């Protein structure tokens, strides 16, 4: 949450920061601001999106070769001009941007108020900045030392970047729990929450680690730990192209990302799955195969859409590997006193690799000696780095706030892991194993086919766009798909949507069913088909409107449902990858028909780096 950008070097900082903020807007869009140093500190901030800030700055003198910028997802204090970052110290010389949450802000604020400080915002950020300033004044220390002392007192998560009017050739940055990437150019440095604002200038980057402080000049980068010892920066080459983070002719990133799925699934399978040879090559799994084979239990931890991927994986691992699986919300797991044994395998699933709750849950499981396997999309992200082993989903950057291609990538990776473990464990016979490899291999073509149904799905979306409530129902492997469909609709169209196991519906939610209630059934042909047909009848008997996602050619459901969306035939284990796509398109087209900004739905942020 919150995007930060900073620049120091020979170029004009403002255009670089502005462009960077636009790229990071997916992380929060409640307000935006910049601070520039050029014979004095100039700070500009505005409630709303980056474009609103840009508009107010037309005609202003924005010349500066050092600056910081921020796009906010509000935590402390409502979205407003005064709560927008950057914040300024009491003496007006320091300016700071922050991503994260300072948990002991109340205590720090009290200490500062006792000394006579006042505050012009409701943010924890302003408190931290004034706390740093106070140390700087009282200890007569330099800014670097003051930051170090202050951060030792801070409880919470942060990335901060500070500029100082008295030191206009230096940026000071620090990280704990929120991401910070530094791009290394020729005589210049770029800082950002992820690599997207950086790639068009340089591909050489350093991912700053927790408890590290960076002292950055145009031509120098010094990393230190909080004990003031130097740390050697680990310079990596970015494997990312500019085209991957642009819309490429689509109206929205979300639509582009939905349509990329044949390619992202292909990339996910490439070099791993060889259906002819009957092999799955995944070094992360192979190197730890005994752990997987002997696991007493697999615990999957994740949030949101990634949690839904975990639920589908639960069905698959239990079916194919005969290993008990528990799927946990990371936010609950981290605060429970969970029973974790040394032999447990933890699979942590995350698109961003930066979700705060998932990171802390991993750390907790690690303390108990569990083996952590990360299924992550963002290469080099925190979760990728703190896991013992892992597999990337290779879906490429996902910019739309609603997760789409990352989810199907997660499913495919999890399916491959389950198959690899099952064949090693001998809990699957060779014939079924080979059949499932073929089914996985055929997915990109089947997705291409199904995306051709987009106009039919748009027509369904237009028919139901004015609904105020909806139910999403599925059974077995398709139950989590129903949950995911409901989440997508809520996020993008603001229509209340509830996902339920179809049979559970009669234990309560059926009371909602009436003529105006659309009920989306995920009802592809699988071992639950007959049962779900009965559930559809139960809804029809109460005059609910049924939209059914079916396997192409399913005459039975076609006759019963008000609207059907067909997906190609597939084995029930891989079918969720296909049945998810109509859910994504339905939500997308309803959101667009209602005139909403589907890439930046209200109140949300792509990367939830606060708990
Ligand atoms: O980056 P992660 O996969 O860890 O994120 C988890 C959730 O925040 C995320 O899936 C969220 O629910 C999405 N907005 C869903 O579309």
What is the mean pLDDT for each group of 10 consecutive residues in the chain (611 residues)? 93 97 88 95 96 95 97 88 96 96 94 96 96 94 94 93 96 93 97 93 94 97 95 90 82 96 95 95 96 95 98 98 96 88 93 93 92 93 93 92 97 98 97 98 96 95 96 96 98 96 90 92 94 94 95 96 96 97 98 95 80 71
In the 8-state DSSP scheme, what is residue 375?
E
Four-point Cα dihedral 96, 101, 103, 108, nearest 10: 10
Q: Give 262 Cα–ligand 1 centroid separation in angstroms.
A: 21
Ligand 1 atom nearest residue 406's Cα? 3
Q: Give 606 Cα–ligand 1 centroid separation in angstroms.
A: 7
Ordered by where they begin, the domains of the chain are 3-243 (3.60.20.10), 250-441 (3.40.50.10490), 451-596 (3.40.50.10490)
In a mutational test of the pocket of ligand 1, which residue from 29, 258, 302, 306 has the highest number of ligand atoms less than 8 Å from its CB?
306
Ligand 1 atom nearest residue 352's Cα? 1
In a mutational test of the pocket of ligand 1, which residue from 27, 310, 351 has the highest number of ligand atoms less than 8 Å from its CB?
351
Ligand 1 atom 9: residue of nearest CA: 304
Q: Give 305 Cα–ligand 1 centroid separation in angstroms.
A: 5
What pLDDT, on a 0 to 100 scale, did the predictor assign at position 160? 97
Ligand 1 pocket (Cβ < 6 Å) reads 303-306, 350-352, 355, 358, 401-403, 491, 604, 608
Ligand 1 atom nearest residue 383's Cα? 4
Burial of 348 per CB tally in 10 Å (0-12, 13-18, 19+): buried
Q: Give 580 Cα–ligand 1 centroid separation in angstroms.
A: 15
Backbone angles phi, psi at 87, to 5 degrees: -100, 165
Query: Rounded distance, CA 67 to CA 84, Å?
Result: 16
Q: What is the pTM of this model?
A: 0.82
In a mutational test of the pocket of ligand 1, which residue from 193, 194, 355, 383 has the highest number of ligand atoms less than 8 Å from its CB?
355
Ligand 1 atom 14: residue of nearest CA: 402
Helix axis angle, 405-425 relative to 575-593, nearest 10°? Answer: 170
What pLDDT, on a 0 to 100 scale, did the predictor assign at position 77? 86
Ligand 1 atom nearest residue 378's Cα? 1
What pLDDT, on a 0 to 100 scale, did the predictor assign at position 65? 97
What pLDDT, on a 0 to 100 scale, did the predictor assign at position 18? 97
Ligand 1 atom 16: residue of nearest CA: 402
Provide the annotated active-site residues. 2, 606
Q: Give 236 Cα–ligand 1 centroid separation in angstroms.
A: 26
- Among residues 526, 525, 528, 527, which one has the least CA distance to residue 501? 528
Q: Which residues contact 43 (CB under 8 A, 6 or more apart)?
A: 33, 34, 35, 86, 88, 95
For the chain, the C-alpha Rg in angstroms (whole number) is: 25
In the 8-state DSSP scheme, what is residue 287?
T
């Amino acid at each position: 949450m919150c995007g930060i950008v900073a620049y120091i070097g020979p170029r004009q900082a403002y255009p670089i920061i502005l462009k960077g903020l636009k790229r990071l807007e997916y992380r929060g869009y409640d307000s935006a601001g910049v601070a520039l140093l050029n014979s004095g500190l100039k700070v500009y901030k505005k409630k709303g999106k980056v474009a609103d800030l840009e508009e107010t700055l037309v005609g202003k003198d924005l010349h500066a070769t050092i600056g910081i910028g921020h796009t906010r997802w509000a935590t402390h204090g409502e979205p407003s001009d005064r709560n927008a970052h950057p914040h300024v110290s009491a003496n007006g010389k320091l300016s700071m941007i922050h991503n994260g949450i300072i948990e002991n802000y109340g205590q720090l604020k009290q200490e500062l108020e006792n000394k006579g400080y006042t505050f012009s915002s409701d943010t924890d950020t302003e408190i931290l900045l004034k706390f740093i300033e106070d140390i700087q004044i009282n200890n007569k220390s330099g800014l670097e030392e003051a930051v170090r002392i202050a951060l030792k007192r801070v409880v919470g998560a942060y990335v901060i970047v500070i500029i100082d009017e008295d030191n206009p050739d230096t940026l000071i940055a620090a990280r704990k729990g929120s991401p910070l990437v530094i791009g290394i150019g020729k005589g210049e440095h770029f800082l950002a929450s992820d690599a997207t604002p950086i790639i068009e200038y340089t591909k050489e980057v350093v991912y700053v680690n927790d408890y590290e402080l960076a002292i950055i000049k145009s031509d120098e980068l010094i990393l230190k730990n909080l004990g003031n010892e130097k740390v050697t920066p680990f310079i990596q080459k970015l494997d990312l192209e500019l085209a991957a983070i642009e819309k490429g002719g689509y109206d929205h990133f979300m639509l582009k990302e939905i349509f990329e799925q044949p390619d992202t699934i292909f990339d996910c399978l490439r070099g791993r799955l060889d259906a002819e040879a009957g092999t799955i090559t995944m070094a992360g799994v192979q190197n730890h195969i005994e752990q997987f084979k002997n696991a007493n239990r697999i615990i999957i931890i994740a949030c949101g859409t990634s949690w839904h991927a975990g639920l589908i994986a639960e069905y698959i691992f239990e079916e194919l590997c005969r290993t008990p699986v528990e799927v946990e919300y990371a936010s609950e797991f981290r605060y429970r006193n969970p029973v974790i044994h040394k032999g447990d395998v933890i699979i942590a699933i995350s698109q961003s690799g930066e979700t705060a709750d998932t990171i802390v849950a991993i750390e907790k499981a690690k303390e108990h000696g569990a083996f952590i396997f990360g299924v992550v999309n963002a290469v080099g992200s925190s979760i990728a780095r703190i896991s013992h082993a892992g597999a990337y989903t290779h879906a490429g950057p996902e910019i739309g706030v609603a997760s789409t291609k990352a989810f199907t990538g997660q499913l495919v990776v999890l399916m491959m892991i389950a198959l690899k473990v099952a064949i090693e464990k001998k809990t699957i016979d060779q014939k079924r194993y080979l059949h499932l490899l073929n089914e996985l291999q055929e997915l990109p073509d089947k997705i291409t086919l199904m995306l051709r149904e987009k106009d039919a799905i748009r027509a369904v979306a237009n028919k139901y766009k004015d609904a105020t409530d909806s139910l999403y129902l599925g059974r077995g492997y398709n139950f989590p798909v129903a949950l995911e469909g409901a989440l997508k609709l809520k996020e993008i169209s603001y229509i209340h949507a509830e996902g339920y196991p179809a049979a559970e519906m009669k234990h309560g939610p059926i009371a909602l069913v009436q003529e105006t209630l659309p009920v989306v059934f995920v009802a592809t042909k699988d071992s639950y088909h007959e049962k779900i047909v009965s559930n559809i009848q139960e809804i029809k008997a109460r005059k609910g409107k049924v939209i059914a996602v079916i396997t192409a050619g399913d005459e039975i459901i076609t006759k019963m449902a008000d609207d059907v969306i067909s997906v190609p035939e597939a084995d029930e284990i891989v079918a969720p990858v296909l049945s998810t796509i109509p859910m994504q398109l339905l939500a997308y087209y309803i959101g667009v028909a209602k005139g909403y900004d589907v890439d930046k739905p209200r109140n949300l942020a792509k990367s939830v780096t606060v708990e």
